[in-house]
Structure 1
Protein backbone atom coordinates (compact mmCIF):
# COMPACT_ATOMS: atom_id res chain seq x y z
CA UNK A 1 0.00 0.00 0.00
CA UNK A 2 1.14 3.49 -0.69
CA UNK A 3 1.80 5.91 2.13
CA UNK A 4 0.02 7.54 3.88
CA UNK A 5 -2.57 4.76 3.85
CA UNK A 6 -2.64 2.14 6.57
CA UNK A 7 -3.63 -1.50 6.53
CA UNK A 8 -5.64 -3.00 5.05
CA UNK A 9 -4.39 -2.30 1.55
CA UNK A 10 -6.68 -1.91 -1.44
CA UNK A 11 -5.82 -5.48 -2.47
CA UNK A 12 -6.67 -6.81 0.97
CA UNK A 13 -10.00 -4.98 0.96
CA UNK A 14 -10.90 -6.32 -2.47
CA UNK A 15 -9.91 -9.84 -1.39
CA UNK A 16 -12.09 -9.58 1.71
CA UNK A 17 -15.14 -8.56 -0.32
CA UNK A 18 -14.52 -11.31 -2.89
CA UNK A 19 -14.14 -13.92 -0.17
CA UNK A 20 -17.34 -12.70 1.53
CA UNK A 21 -19.26 -13.03 -1.73
CA UNK A 22 -17.87 -16.49 -2.43
CA UNK A 23 -18.22 -17.87 1.09
CA UNK A 24 -21.32 -16.17 2.51
CA UNK A 25 -23.42 -14.70 -0.28
CA UNK A 26 -23.16 -16.97 -3.35
CA UNK A 27 -24.19 -20.22 -1.62
CA UNK A 28 -27.60 -18.68 -0.87
CA UNK A 29 -28.22 -17.41 -4.38
CA UNK A 30 -29.63 -19.06 -7.47
CA UNK A 31 -30.41 -18.29 -11.07
CA UNK A 32 -29.70 -14.86 -12.49
CA UNK A 33 -28.73 -13.38 -9.11
CA UNK A 34 -26.17 -16.15 -8.56
CA UNK A 35 -24.75 -15.58 -12.03
CA UNK A 36 -24.33 -11.86 -11.32
CA UNK A 37 -22.74 -12.68 -7.96
CA UNK A 38 -20.24 -14.97 -9.70
CA UNK A 39 -19.46 -12.22 -12.20
CA UNK A 40 -18.92 -9.75 -9.35
CA UNK A 41 -16.59 -12.17 -7.53
CA UNK A 42 -14.65 -12.73 -10.76
CA UNK A 43 -14.30 -8.98 -11.31
CA UNK A 44 -12.90 -8.61 -7.81
CA UNK A 45 -10.42 -11.43 -8.49
CA UNK A 46 -9.26 -9.61 -11.64
CA UNK A 47 -8.80 -6.40 -9.63
CA UNK A 48 -6.78 -8.33 -7.01
CA UNK A 49 -4.47 -9.72 -9.68
CA UNK A 50 -4.06 -6.35 -11.36
CA UNK A 51 -3.18 -4.69 -8.05
CA UNK A 52 -0.64 -7.43 -7.32
CA UNK A 53 0.89 -7.84 -10.77
CA UNK A 54 0.23 -4.47 -12.41
CA UNK A 55 3.36 -2.57 -11.35
CA UNK A 56 5.72 -5.33 -12.53
CA UNK A 57 3.76 -5.79 -15.76
CA UNK A 58 3.85 -2.05 -16.41
CA UNK A 59 7.62 -1.92 -15.94
CA UNK A 60 8.17 -4.96 -18.17
CA UNK A 61 5.91 -3.49 -20.85
CA UNK A 62 7.81 -0.18 -20.80
CA UNK A 63 11.06 -2.13 -21.22
CA UNK A 64 9.62 -4.14 -24.15
CA UNK A 65 8.42 -0.95 -25.86
CA UNK A 66 11.77 0.76 -25.31
CA UNK A 67 13.64 -2.23 -26.76
CA UNK A 68 11.49 -1.90 -29.85
CA UNK A 69 12.15 1.85 -29.95
CA UNK A 70 8.66 3.06 -29.05
CA UNK A 71 7.34 5.13 -26.14
CA UNK A 72 3.82 3.69 -26.09
CA UNK A 73 1.39 1.21 -27.63
CA UNK A 74 0.03 3.76 -30.11
CA UNK A 75 3.47 4.39 -31.54
CA UNK A 76 4.21 0.66 -31.74
CA UNK A 77 0.89 -0.02 -33.47
CA UNK A 78 1.59 2.73 -36.02
CA UNK A 79 5.05 1.29 -36.69
CA UNK A 80 3.59 -2.19 -37.20
CA UNK A 81 0.97 -0.83 -39.62
CA UNK A 82 3.65 1.09 -41.51
CA UNK A 83 5.86 -2.00 -41.79
CA UNK A 84 8.67 -0.37 -39.84
CA UNK A 85 9.28 -3.55 -37.83
CA UNK A 86 9.02 -6.08 -40.65
CA UNK A 87 12.70 -6.96 -40.29
CA UNK A 88 12.34 -7.58 -36.55
CA UNK A 89 9.58 -10.19 -36.65
CA UNK A 90 11.01 -12.55 -34.00
CA UNK A 91 11.68 -9.72 -31.56
CA UNK A 92 8.25 -8.18 -32.13
CA UNK A 93 6.51 -11.55 -31.81
CA UNK A 94 8.27 -12.27 -28.50
CA UNK A 95 7.38 -8.83 -27.12
CA UNK A 96 3.73 -9.16 -28.14
CA UNK A 97 3.53 -12.70 -26.77
CA UNK A 98 4.92 -11.53 -23.42
CA UNK A 99 2.43 -8.63 -23.34
CA UNK A 100 -0.47 -11.00 -23.98
CA UNK A 101 0.78 -13.40 -21.29
CA UNK A 102 0.85 -10.54 -18.80
CA UNK A 103 -2.70 -9.54 -19.77
CA UNK A 104 -3.90 -13.12 -19.38
CA UNK A 105 -2.20 -13.44 -16.00
CA UNK A 106 -4.59 -10.73 -14.81
CA UNK A 107 -7.73 -11.36 -16.87
CA UNK A 108 -7.80 -15.17 -16.86
CA UNK A 109 -4.69 -16.91 -15.52
CA UNK A 110 -6.12 -20.35 -16.17
CA UNK A 111 -6.27 -19.62 -19.87
CA UNK A 112 -2.59 -18.71 -19.99
CA UNK A 113 -1.60 -22.12 -18.61
CA UNK A 114 -3.48 -24.10 -21.25
CA UNK A 115 -1.29 -25.67 -23.88
CA UNK A 116 -1.62 -24.47 -27.41
CA UNK A 117 0.34 -22.99 -30.29
CA UNK A 118 3.31 -20.89 -29.29
Structure 2
Protein backbone atom coordinates (compact mmCIF):
# COMPACT_ATOMS: atom_id res chain seq x y z
CA UNK A 1 0.00 0.00 0.00
CA UNK A 2 1.28 3.43 -0.90
CA UNK A 3 1.21 6.29 1.55
CA UNK A 4 -0.84 9.38 0.90
CA UNK A 5 -1.32 11.50 -1.09
CA UNK A 6 -3.10 9.27 -3.56
CA UNK A 7 -2.54 9.63 -7.31
CA UNK A 8 -5.92 11.35 -7.53
CA UNK A 9 -4.97 13.84 -4.83
CA UNK A 10 -1.62 14.53 -6.50
CA UNK A 11 -3.15 15.19 -9.92
CA UNK A 12 -5.87 17.36 -8.36
CA UNK A 13 -3.27 19.37 -6.42
CA UNK A 14 -1.28 20.06 -9.59
CA UNK A 15 -4.44 21.09 -11.47
CA UNK A 16 -5.50 23.39 -8.63
CA UNK A 17 -2.02 24.95 -8.42
CA UNK A 18 -1.95 25.63 -12.15
CA UNK A 19 -5.53 26.94 -12.16
CA UNK A 20 -5.25 29.15 -9.06
CA UNK A 21 -1.62 30.26 -8.94
CA UNK A 22 -0.24 30.13 -12.48
CA UNK A 23 -3.20 30.78 -14.80
CA UNK A 24 -3.85 34.31 -13.50
CA UNK A 25 -0.26 35.23 -14.43
CA UNK A 26 -0.40 34.05 -18.05
CA UNK A 27 -2.23 35.45 -21.06
CA UNK A 28 -2.65 34.82 -24.75
CA UNK A 29 -1.82 31.54 -26.41
CA UNK A 30 0.19 30.34 -23.41
CA UNK A 31 -2.91 30.77 -21.22
CA UNK A 32 -4.91 28.73 -23.72
CA UNK A 33 -2.32 25.93 -23.66
CA UNK A 34 -2.30 26.02 -19.86
CA UNK A 35 -6.12 25.67 -19.78
CA UNK A 36 -5.84 22.66 -22.10
CA UNK A 37 -3.35 21.10 -19.69
CA UNK A 38 -5.56 21.85 -16.67
CA UNK A 39 -8.55 20.32 -18.47
CA UNK A 40 -6.50 17.19 -19.17
CA UNK A 41 -5.55 16.89 -15.49
CA UNK A 42 -9.19 17.39 -14.46
CA UNK A 43 -10.18 14.62 -16.90
CA UNK A 44 -7.61 12.28 -15.34
CA UNK A 45 -9.06 12.97 -11.88
CA UNK A 46 -12.57 12.17 -13.12
CA UNK A 47 -11.30 8.99 -14.77
CA UNK A 48 -9.60 7.92 -11.54
CA UNK A 49 -12.65 8.66 -9.39
CA UNK A 50 -15.59 7.72 -11.63
CA UNK A 51 -14.60 5.40 -14.47
CA UNK A 52 -14.20 2.19 -12.46
CA UNK A 53 -17.74 2.30 -11.07
CA UNK A 54 -19.20 3.32 -14.43
CA UNK A 55 -17.35 0.49 -16.18
CA UNK A 56 -18.56 -2.04 -13.60
CA UNK A 57 -22.17 -0.90 -14.02
CA UNK A 58 -21.85 -1.00 -17.81
CA UNK A 59 -20.35 -4.49 -17.63
CA UNK A 60 -23.21 -5.74 -15.45
CA UNK A 61 -25.82 -4.25 -17.80
CA UNK A 62 -24.14 -5.81 -20.83
CA UNK A 63 -24.00 -9.24 -19.19
CA UNK A 64 -27.74 -9.06 -18.48
CA UNK A 65 -28.59 -7.66 -21.90
CA UNK A 66 -26.49 -10.13 -23.89
CA UNK A 67 -26.88 -13.13 -21.60
CA UNK A 68 -23.16 -13.82 -21.61
CA UNK A 69 -20.00 -12.91 -19.74
CA UNK A 70 -16.71 -11.59 -20.98
CA UNK A 71 -14.43 -8.59 -20.89
CA UNK A 72 -16.13 -5.21 -21.21
CA UNK A 73 -14.47 -4.49 -24.54
CA UNK A 74 -15.57 -7.87 -25.92
CA UNK A 75 -19.15 -7.44 -24.73
CA UNK A 76 -19.27 -4.01 -26.35
CA UNK A 77 -18.06 -5.57 -29.58
CA UNK A 78 -20.81 -8.21 -29.38
CA UNK A 79 -23.38 -5.50 -28.67
CA UNK A 80 -22.26 -3.47 -31.67
CA UNK A 81 -22.37 -6.54 -33.92
CA UNK A 82 -25.85 -7.46 -32.74
CA UNK A 83 -27.13 -3.92 -33.27
CA UNK A 84 -25.53 -3.78 -36.73
CA UNK A 85 -27.06 -7.11 -37.71
CA UNK A 86 -30.50 -6.13 -36.45
CA UNK A 87 -30.53 -8.83 -33.77
CA UNK A 88 -30.95 -6.04 -31.18
CA UNK A 89 -32.79 -2.76 -31.62
CA UNK A 90 -34.44 -0.13 -29.46
CA UNK A 91 -37.42 -2.45 -28.95
CA UNK A 92 -35.08 -4.91 -27.16
CA UNK A 93 -35.82 -4.71 -23.42
CA UNK A 94 -33.05 -2.88 -21.62
CA UNK A 95 -31.11 -1.73 -24.69
CA UNK A 96 -32.31 1.88 -24.75
CA UNK A 97 -31.74 2.22 -21.01
CA UNK A 98 -28.26 0.71 -21.32
CA UNK A 99 -27.25 3.03 -24.15
CA UNK A 100 -28.65 6.07 -22.34
CA UNK A 101 -26.92 5.30 -19.03
CA UNK A 102 -23.63 4.44 -20.73
CA UNK A 103 -23.71 7.74 -22.60
CA UNK A 104 -24.44 9.71 -19.42
CA UNK A 105 -21.68 7.91 -17.53
CA UNK A 106 -19.16 8.66 -20.29
CA UNK A 107 -20.18 12.32 -20.43
CA UNK A 108 -19.90 12.59 -16.63
CA UNK A 109 -16.21 11.75 -16.99
CA UNK A 110 -15.41 13.37 -20.32
CA UNK A 111 -17.61 16.50 -20.47
CA UNK A 112 -19.41 17.12 -17.14
CA UNK A 113 -19.91 20.80 -17.95
CA UNK A 114 -21.54 20.12 -21.32
CA UNK A 115 -24.88 21.95 -21.12
CA UNK A 116 -26.94 19.16 -22.66
CA UNK A 117 -25.37 16.63 -20.30
CA UNK A 118 -26.22 18.79 -17.29
CA UNK A 119 -29.79 19.11 -18.49
CA UNK A 120 -30.25 15.41 -19.28
CA UNK A 121 -28.36 13.90 -16.36
CA UNK A 122 -31.18 14.61 -13.95
CA UNK A 123 -34.02 13.69 -16.28
CA UNK A 124 -33.70 9.90 -16.17
CA UNK A 125 -33.33 7.24 -18.79
CA UNK A 126 -36.52 7.91 -20.67
CA UNK A 127 -35.68 11.57 -21.21
CA UNK A 128 -38.84 12.66 -19.38
Answer yes or no: is 1:33 the counterpart of 2:38.
no
Structure 1 unaligned runs (5+)? none
Instruction: Give the equivalent residue in structure 1 for 2:80.
Output: 77
Instruction: Give the equivalent residue in structure 1 for 2:119.
Output: 114
Structure 2 unaligned runs (5+)? none
Q: Distance in 1 between matches of 2:23 and 2:29?
A: 11
* Number of aligned positions between the proteins: 115
Compute the RMSD of aligned alpha carbons.
Answer: 1.9
Runs of 4+ more than 4 Å apart: none
Distance 1:23 1:90, change over 3 A: same
Query: SS at 1:60's partner residue?
Result: helix
Which of 33, 42, 45 aligns to 1:45? It is 42
Instruction: Give the equivalent residue in structure 2 for 1:57.
Output: 54
Q: Structure 2 length normalisation: TM-score?
A: 0.82
